[in-house]
Amino acid sequence: METFDKLIQIMAQLRSPNGCPWDIKQTHKSLKPYLIEEAHEVLEAIDGQDPSKLKEELGDLLLHVVFHAQIAKDESNFDINEVIEAIIGKLIERHPHVFGEMAQKLSAEQVLANWENIKAETSKEKDYYVLKGIPASMPALLKAYRIQEKVARFGFDWSQPIDILDKLEEERLELKEAMVGADGEKLEEELGDLLFTIVNLCRHYKIEPEAALNSTCNKFRARFKLMEDYLREDQIRLGSIEIKELDEYWEKAKTYLKKVDGNKT
């Protein structure tokens, strides 16, 4: 705890009258973009499987927790100790199978179901709802995943992943109707339904839709970049040829990269 206490002291000094002008100026709201940025950098470090980088990025993220707690303390709302006490209480309360008098072995799925039930029973909010805790500002793909994940813990779920394909086909036909009708508002709604169903399919196979889509984006970028290289080699300006010819260059890039990727495995 000595190093953690030192971090708290440094943050307090930075926010003191003789501290850093930038740190003193910050508020909970002004730090929001940086908090999101740091969280994404942690995710990148995890994806990169770089322990050294992950250690660094977790430190940056921890700084934000301490920073927000110090702002709250300066405003006489709460301090870091109260933040820690709150999460300790929550962890003990929601893990009766570990800390309770009658500890028992549960599967990971049972633990999650227990967590949600205990959360509902112990909530101090009169208007508590299962999905209330999901932030409105959360990225849509992740939000859809978390919504489906939460309701599934209460049995509101597809029994088999194959059933989702039938729903996907249903949504595809409804999208087609909206396209034929040229109804912009309806088209947006049906596209949303289609995406939501695809996320459900991802969840059933334990695939994060954000990760899957990001992987596809990276694959597309690599292929498009190589296609541009081929066009330059042939002294052809991008946008000056028809889509049929572009497709030929695209397939060439696609074939080459597939071969390269195949050789890596």
> Average pLDDT of 159-187?
91
Residue with tokens 């707690």: 69
Say what the pLDDT of residue 132 is. Answer: 82
SS3 content of the chain, % helix, strand, coil (to 5): 75, 0, 25
Residues 190 and 216 in one domain: no
pLDDT band at 5 (very low <50, low <70, confident <90, very high): very high
Q: Which domain holds residue 170?
A: 140-204
- The DSSP symbol for 155 reads T
- Of 175, 204, 233, the last residue of a domain is 204
> Average pLDDT of 24-32?
95
- Of 158, 174, 204, the last residue of a domain is 204
Residues 230 and 190 in one domain: no
Alpha carbon 59 to chain centroid, angstroms: 19
**Which whole-number Å values give the CA distances from 259 to 182, 252, 253, 256, in the listed order?**
42, 11, 10, 5
Residues 24 and 78 in one domain: yes
Residues 150 and 231 in one domain: no
Amino acid at 87: I
127, part of any domain? no
Domain count, the chain: 4
Say what the pLDDT of residue 64 is. Answer: 97
29-47 residue pLDDT tens:
999 999 989 998 998 899 8
Which residue, among 200, 188, 187, 216, has the nearest Cα to 144 in the 3D structure?
Answer: 200
Q: pTM here? A: 0.66
Residues 258 and 200 in one domain: no
Say what the pLDDT of residue 133 is. Answer: 81
- Of 186, 204, 222, the last residue of a domain is 204
**Listed range (131-145, 184-198, 222-236, 237-251) with the worst mean pLDDT:** 131-145
| Percent above pLDDT 70 for the chain | 95
66, part of any domain? yes
Q: Which CATH number do you get for residue 65? A: 1.10.287.1080
The count of C-alpha atoms lying within 13 angstroms of the C-alpha of 237, restricted to the half-sphere facing its C-beta, is 2
Residues 88 and 51 in one domain: yes
User: What six digits make up the tokens of 219?
Assistant: 């694959």
Helix spans in 130-242 (H): 140-152, 161-181, 184-204, 209-233
Residues 181 and 153 in one domain: yes
101-150 residue pLDDT tens:
766 777 777 777 777 777 777 776 667 788 888 888 888 999 999 999 98
Say what the pLDDT of residue 17 is. Answer: 94
As a whole number of angstroms, the distance between CA 79 and CA 71 comes to 8
128, part of any domain? no
132, part of any domain? no
> Average pLDDT of 198-213?
93
101, part of any domain? yes
Q: How many residues does the chain have?
A: 265
Residues 7 and 65 in one domain: yes
Residues 87 and 6 in one domain: yes
36, part of any domain? yes
Residues 174 and 105 in one domain: no
Q: For residue 63, what are the contacts with CB-CB under 8 A and spacing of at least 6?
A: 7, 11, 38
pLDDT band at 265 (very low <50, low <70, confident <90, very high): very low
73, part of any domain? yes
50, part of any domain? yes
